[in-house]
Amino acid sequence: MANVSTRSVIIPSDRMPVGAVHSLRMSAIEQVEDVAQRSLGVGVTLTTRDLQPADIGYSNQQFTETSGTDNTWSDTTISAKSIADETFLVIWGVQMIIPGIVELPISAIRFVIGGGRVAQLSLYGMQQPHTPDAAEAGIFRPITGMFLSPIVITQNSVLTIQEYNVTATTAYQMVFEGVAVEREGKLISP
């Protein structure tokens, strides 16, 4: 079997059994908690909380983006974001929210940590119509894509998330699913 450290594969959560989605989440949380515990020390008590937009570089507490130039890779709002000291993140999924748009404005995302690409994920299949009638009207529901290999980002790492743009200057939300693990008692700024 090949020695594979990251599987850059995304699966829409509605195509996975509920138990598999829960198992993937729990495995990702255990993985980042283990990394944090080894880094901060065995006796340190940790707090695990939901990932907030500010954890990865959004300043407005919303996962809001606007696509860039057609048919190019570009940095998202998360460009060279230094992860806080004693903070460890794991991202296991992404949800695209694009009201009233039939086609995704971006087709892929990639994660660059410390200058090295750790994952590149295709987003095709991430939006599906509620019903056939809704599809004709251009009304789509967001689908969460689950990563086969979660992305772990350690303290003081520099994170950049890039997107491959298909349609320029389209506003959308790219909501990342994950958690932050920190030393217990650390002040969390909003």
Question: Which residue ranges make up each domain of the chain?
Answer: 10-183
pTM above 0.95, yes or no: no
- Asked if 105 and 159 touch (Cβ cutoff 8 Å), the reply is no
* Higher local confidence (pLDDT), 158 or 134: 158
DSSP sequence for the chain = ----S----EEEGGGS-HHHHHHHHHHHHHHHHHHHHHHH-TT--EEEEE--GGGGT-SSSS-EEE--STTEEEE-S-SSEEPPTTEEEEEEEEEEE-TT-SS-SEEEEEEEETTEEEEEEE-TT-EEESSHHHHHHT-EEE-EEEEEEEEEE-TT-EEEEEEEESSTT-EEEEEEEEEEEEETTPPPP-
pLDDT tens by residue, 1-58: 333 345 567 787 888 888 998 999 999 999 999 999 999 998 899 999 999 998 988 8
pLDDT in tens, 113-157: 998 999 998 887 676 555 555 555 555 566 788 898 999 999 999
- CATH 2.60.120 correct for 10-183: yes
Q: Is the pLDDT of residue 174 over 80?
A: yes
Q: What's the pLDDT score for residue 154?
A: 95
